[in-house]
Chains A and B, each alone.
Chain A
Amino acid sequence: MTLSAEALALYQDAVESLASNSPAWLAGLRRKALDRFATNGFPSPREEEWKYTNITAIERKGFAVATSMGEVDPAWIGSLLLPECWHLVLIDGHFARDLSHPALVGDVVFCDMEAAKLRHADLLAEGFGQAVDVDHGFIDFNTALFQGGALIRLNPGTRLEQPIQILHILTQAAAIPTRHLIQIGEEAEATVIESHAGVAAGLTAHVSEVLLGKNASLKHFIIQEDHQRAFHFGGLYVRQETGSRLAQTQFALGGFLARSEIHVTIGKDCETLLDGLHWANGRRHLDTHTRLVHAKPNGTSRENYKVIAEERGRSVFQGRIVVEPGAQKTDAAMNNRNLLLSDDAEVDSKPQLEIYADDVKCAHGVTIGQLDPDALFYLQTRGIDAESARQLLLYGFVNELIEAVDVEPLRGYLHRQLDRRFHAIPLEENP
């Protein structure tokens, strides 16, 4: 949908002010992106990829881009920052220096986007836009208007012991476009956690780009706990070189309408693991769209998405796997397990396989159902009442995914969040 003149004017000024503060190549990209956005607007439900997630509400809101940082309670921020991690905090897209650890330089570069423009312009220019393989309104909006973000760069062979946590806080009813560029050099290893939380009904419009060098390894987490009236778009675009490994896990727990897009271009001998949870309760609409392109031979990919849809919640999962000609010996499996727990909840699941090679293994499975009555009965025969038994099974459904998180501080955090949700039965962490 074409943008109205008023809406466009709103963004034009912002882009010009950002462009004046960007290197020439980026200023050019911003202006081109805005032109495309002016013509196309945000994606329409008429487009196949957006069929189940109607974002006209976002368009109607006409969010202005946040120009300053809102006030936040430092104690609350403290509760969101994970121990034993290297922190970078963005409030309304602006770098919160006081709440962040010092930038890293050397074999590991980790800094906010402003610092990156000043000190690592070459790295930025080299990697920017290299992993994004789609073009739609949210990406154009982001490219034109992104302000804050982070640059992570690991030199070849570097192993980052401490996980990086980038915390995004949203405090105002405005659009917050942020962008990260993550470059992991050959044989290098890192863990990156992107956390999103907020106190206002704004719009997150985030893009992360990841370039994984030969035999590099990245553990990547997205913890989405936005405000219950907030809108969220989060795109993760990854390019994997030969022999690299990506393990991505997403917990979509918040927001009013949240769309997560994960696209991975998979090289030779690569491993790609995607896990995720949608907890669509209340009136929450959660959408995850994955697209894995097996571009070279001998890649392995596994996707496991679990969904709880209850009350008036809605979950959308679209999983597309493309096996390109020549990507022989690809081994891909995708699984989507949905618990549909109320009459008013809705689940849409759409696996799509496009296979252009003949020697491949490609499997997909979708289940939509209720809690296992045999398991409920089993718990009841041990004295646990029906409602607690139901809660315990839901707890187990989520906890299975949390137990698989091999970053201890994050696992601990998720356990505490889970226990809070199940306050009816106090749960304890396993030693």
Chain B
Amino acid sequence: MTDTLLKIENLHACVEDKHILKGIDLTLDYGQVHAIMGPNGSGKSTLANVLAGRDGYEITEGRVWYRGHDLLAMPPEERAREGVFLAFQYPVEIPGVSNIYFLKAALNAIRKHRGESEVDAMDFILLVKEKMKRMQMDEQFLYRAINEGFSGGEKKRNEILQMLVLEPTLCLLDEIDSGLDIDALKIVAEGIEALRSPERGFLMVTHYQRLLDYVQPDVVHVFANGRIVKSGGPELARELETKGYGWIEHYLEAQAR
């Protein structure tokens, strides 16, 4: 593990000629949790999606190194197999495909990539059920179609369940806390904490401080207008919470002067 987990260098990205990311530099080390905060439209979610490989973004400048590899050169599935996981802000409903089949197909795709054999059916069920217990999900969710008819909170728990089963190396969490009541938020946070380890890193995009009360970040970055305008410790999140995002505007104006 000589290579850094994630190193973003001067990343610029556009959507349909609209310049969204305007030079992001960020280094995330193994064992770290970074939070990205910022007002709507500041580019936080775009960054998470670009890192996961979503179509429709044009990378106009910059590089992203994941464990020493050129991340942006890989198709999304290869990133996933190499250990990148994106928990979606809006998890997609897929009628007709059961959760359990999906989880198994995903786990086997990753195992195959690592040169491992397919997971034993019995072991798999036991593993999934144990993780479901942690997420306080009823077992019937396994046999329901992916996210179909799930409440907002159930969808988010399902995202963390997938993360717990797939055990990724780099976890990108895109507003995992949105739409959650306080109980669901705690469950989700505990799921994240359970995976926290020296072999793994987290990049959490969030609009609110609330999540950070439960998952203490090592570094907080504040996004505005496609750039990181300030980075600091957990206290930065609290400062933002107290002063609101308007404070960022003032901060930027003050800097410009």
A binding-site residues for B, Cβ under 8 Å = 372-375, 377-386, 388-389, 392-393, 395-401, 403, 425, 427-428, 430-431
B222 located at the interface, meaning its Cβ lies under 8 Å from any Cβ of chain A in the complex: no
Q: Are A395 and B97 in contact (CB under 8 A)?
A: yes
A-B contact pairs, 26 of them (CB 8 A): A373-B55, A374-B92, A377-B54, A377-B55, A377-B92, A378-B94, A379-B94, A379-B106, A380-B75, A380-B77, A381-B79, A382-B166, A383-B77, A383-B80, A383-B106, A383-B109, A385-B109, A388-B109, A392-B94, A392-B102, A397-B96, A400-B96, A400-B145, A401-B96, A427-B101, A431-B143
> Complex formed: what's the CA distance from A113 to B54 in Å?
60
Known contacts: A373-B55, A383-B77, A386-B75. The answer to whether A392 contacts B143 by CB under 8 A is no
Residue among B92, B94, B106 with max Cβ neighbours from chain A (10 Å): B94
Distance to closest chain B CB from A422 (angstroms): 11
User: Which of B84, B88, B96 interacts with A395 by CB under 8 Å?
Assistant: B96
Given contacts A381-B79, A383-B106, 8 further A-B contacts (CB under 8 A): A378-B94, A381-B84, A381-B86, A383-B109, A383-B113, A384-B109, A393-B97, A400-B145
State which size class the interface on B falls in.
20 to 34
Residues of A within 8 A of B100 (CB): 430
> Complex formed: what's the CA distance from A383 to B166 in Å?
10
| Overall SS of chain A's interface | helix
Of all chain B residues, the one with the shortest Cβ separation from A404 is: B96
Residue among A381, A385, A430 with max Cβ neighbours from chain B (10 Å): A381
Known contacts: A381-B86, A383-B80, A386-B77. The answer to whether A396 contacts B92 by CB under 8 A is no
> Complex formed: what's the CA distance from A292 to B98 in Å?
34
Q: Are A385 and B77 in contact (CB under 8 A)?
A: yes
B105 located at the interface, meaning its Cβ lies under 8 Å from any Cβ of chain A in the complex: yes
B95 located at the interface, meaning its Cβ lies under 8 Å from any Cβ of chain A in the complex: yes
Known contacts: A400-B145, A425-B105. The answer to whether A380 contacts B94 by CB under 8 A is no
Of all chain B residues, the one with the shortest Cβ separation from A400 is: B96
Known contacts: A400-B96, A403-B96. The answer to whether A383 contacts B53 by CB under 8 A is no
> Complex formed: what's the CA distance from A425 to B104 in Å?
11
> Complex formed: what's the CA distance from A88 to B73 in Å?
59
Q: Which of B57-81 contact A (CB under 8 A)?
A: 75-77, 79-81
Residues of B within 8 A of A400 (CB): 95-96, 145
B85 located at the interface, meaning its Cβ lies under 8 Å from any Cβ of chain A in the complex: yes
Q: How many A-B pairs with Cβ below 8 Å?
A: 90
Distance to closest chain A CB from B44 (angstroms): 17
The 4 closest A-B pairs by CB, nearest first: A396-B96, A400-B96, A382-B106, A399-B96
Distance to closest chain B CB from A277 (angstroms): 11
> Complex formed: what's the CA distance from A85 to B79 in Å?
49
Of all chain A residues, the one with the shortest Cβ separation from B90 is: A374
Distance to closest chain A CB from B58 (angstroms): 16
B91 located at the interface, meaning its Cβ lies under 8 Å from any Cβ of chain A in the complex: yes
Q: Which of B150-187 contact A (CB under 8 A)?
A: 162, 166
Q: Are B80 and A396 in contact (CB under 8 A)?
A: no
Of all chain A residues, the one with the shortest Cβ separation from B76 is: A380
Q: Are B77 and A384 in contact (CB under 8 A)?
A: yes
B47 located at the interface, meaning its Cβ lies under 8 Å from any Cβ of chain A in the complex: no
Known contacts: A381-B52, A427-B101. The answer to whether A396 contacts B81 by CB under 8 A is no
Of all chain B residues, the one with the shortest Cβ separation from A392 is: B97
Known contacts: A383-B109, A430-B143. The answer to whether A399 contacts B97 by CB under 8 A is yes
B110 located at the interface, meaning its Cβ lies under 8 Å from any Cβ of chain A in the complex: yes
Distance to closest chain A CB from B101 (angstroms): 7
User: Which of B55, B81, B92, B98 interacts with A383 by CB under 8 Å?
Assistant: B81
Residues of A within 8 A of B106 (CB): 379, 382-384
Residues of A within 8 A of B102 (CB): 379, 382, 392
> Complex formed: what's the CA distance from A379 to B81 in Å?
12
> Complex formed: what's the CA distance from A427 to B145 in Å?
14
Distance to closest chain A CB from B167 (angstroms): 12
Q: Are A378 and B91 in contact (CB under 8 A)?
A: yes
Distance to closest chain B CB from A392 (angstroms): 6
> Complex formed: what's the CA distance from A400 to B94 in Å?
10
Q: Which of B131-149 contact A (CB under 8 A)?
A: 143, 145
Of all chain A residues, the one with the shortest Cβ separation from B100 is: A430
Q: Are B96 and A398 in contact (CB under 8 A)?
A: yes
Q: Are B97 and A378 in contact (CB under 8 A)?
A: no
> Complex formed: what's the CA distance from A399 to B88 in Å?
25
Of all chain B residues, the one with the shortest Cβ separation from A403 is: B96
> Complex formed: what's the CA distance from A381 to B84 in Å?
8
Q: Are A375 and B92 in contact (CB under 8 A)?
A: yes
Fill in one digit per residue for B16-60: 1 if any A CB lies within 8 Å of its CB, else 0.
000000000000000000000000000000000000111100000
Of all chain B residues, the one with the shortest Cβ separation from A401 is: B96
Residues of B within 8 A of A403 (CB): 96
Known contacts: A378-B88, A378-B94. The answer to whether A428 contacts B101 by CB under 8 A is yes
Residues of A within 8 A of B97 (CB): 392-393, 395-396, 399
Q: Are B145 and A396 in contact (CB under 8 A)?
A: yes
Residues of A within 8 A of B54 (CB): 377
Residues of B within 8 A of A395 (CB): 96-97
Residues of A within 8 A of B105 (CB): 382, 384, 388, 392, 425
Residues of A within 8 A of B96 (CB): 395-401, 403
Residues of A within 8 A of B109 (CB): 382-385, 388
Residues of B within 8 A of A386 (CB): 75, 77
> Complex formed: what's the CA distance from A385 to B106 in Å?
10
> Complex formed: what's the CA distance from A382 to B159 in Å?
11
Distance to closest chain A CB from B121 (angstroms): 8
Residue among B75, B76, B88 with max Cβ neighbours from chain A (10 Å): B76
Of all chain A residues, the one with the shortest Cβ separation from B97 is: A396
User: Which of B52, B92, B110 interacts with A372 by CB under 8 Å?
Assistant: B92
Residues of B within 8 A of A427 (CB): 101
Residues of A within 8 A of B94 (CB): 375, 378-379, 392-393, 396
> Complex formed: what's the CA distance from A196 to B75 in Å?
43
> Complex formed: what's the CA distance from A375 to B75 in Å?
15
